[in-house]
Structure 1
Amino acid sequence: MSWFARRPGVVFWPLLRVAQAAVALQAVLGMVLLAGGRRPADDLHLAYGIAALLVNVVAEGMRAGVAQRHLAELPEQVEFDQLPEERQLEIAEQIARGELGVMTIASLLVLTLALRAWQTGG
């Protein structure tokens, strides 16, 4: 809702980090089980788990790219600190909305992959 309301979300980011940590923890647990000789009923389970981890990594890179893209749009001779405060806030809001959008889409994709992994886990 924060993205549509054009205001930064305060709850989203901590929940996102917890969810990302859960995905990483599940991937580590899966590797430990594999190393111990346990295999899932379907090899697709492994693909879905690895894909969820990769989506998180790629999404973080894309999130960083949002800020770079907005700052690259500034004229070369103008530094961000030299802009009026109102313009700085406007750019910061655009960056925050872009980051929120990227991470929301990534989270939905990871959720879909996690559900598929669960279904194929046996």
Structure 2
Amino acid sequence: MKEVHIVIGALAIGLSSIAAVYGAWLWWRARSSAWFWRALRAAQVVIVVQVALGGVLELTGHKVPGLHIVYGLLPLAVSFLAEQLRVSCAQMVLDARGHESAAAVGELPHDEQQSVVLAILQRELGVMTLAAIVIVVLLARAAGTA
């Protein structure tokens, strides 16, 4: 079981690293890609599995340093907080541009609508990319404290 935890941990670091690097590249180039979101969601799923395995190991008597547990759980918290911030990105962009709602954006000319949508996507990508970077660091620290 411990070996599975190690392999899943390496997979979590790998997928999170892919999401972080690819997301940073996309953000820099002001582009979007479904592959970024797939890599990010896969990393999140693997992290949940990793934490569950870690919990099972802890409950079955495999004791690890407290820092390992902290660094292992923090990626879940970072992911949750990043998702909350991502959800609010659209409203932040609308507020910054003086629009009351998405319906108000629908009344804009097509080019301006596209500009608002791209700004929202760019902000969401930035938030989740930064979260992926933080998660990679936390997972690497968790691996280093095992």
Query: What TM-score, normalized by structure 1, do the two folds share?
Result: 0.90
Partner of 2:124: 99
**What is the Cα deviation at residue 9 of structure 1?**
2.5
Partner of 2:37: 13
Partner of 2:7: none
- Provide the alpha-carbon RMSD of the alignment: 1.6
More displaced 10-residue stretch of structure 1: 4-13 or 60-69: 4-13
2:99–2:105: 8 Å Cα contact kept in structure 1?
no
**What is the Cα deviation at residue 72 of structure 1?**
2.5
**Structure 2 stretches lacking a partner, 5+ long:** 1-24
Secondary structure in structure 1 of the residue aligned to 2:89: helix
Give the percent of matched residue pairs that are identical in Structure 1 and Structure 2.
Answer: 35
What is the identity, as a one-letter code, of the residue corresponding to 1:101? G
More displaced 10-residue stretch of structure 1: 16-25 or 78-87: 78-87
The equivalences for 1:33-72 within 5 A come to 33-40=57-64, 42-72=65-95
Partner of 1:89: 114
**Structure 1 stretches lacking a partner, 5+ long:** none
Partner of 2:134: 109
2:69–2:142: 8 Å Cα contact kept in structure 1?
yes
Query: What TM-score, normalized by structure 2, do the two folds share?
Result: 0.76
Separation in structure 2 between the aligned mates of residue 37 and residue 17 of structure 1, nearest angstrom: 31
What is the identity, as a one-letter code, of the residue corresponding to 2:116? I
What is the identity, as a one-letter code, of the residue corresponding to 1:34? E
Separation in structure 2 between the aligned mates of residue 36 and residue 75 of structure 1, nearest angstrom: 54
Partner of 2:53: 29
**What is the Cα deviation at residue 10 of structure 1?**
3.0
More displaced 10-residue stretch of structure 1: 75-84 or 18-27: 75-84
> Which has more helix, going by share of residues?
2
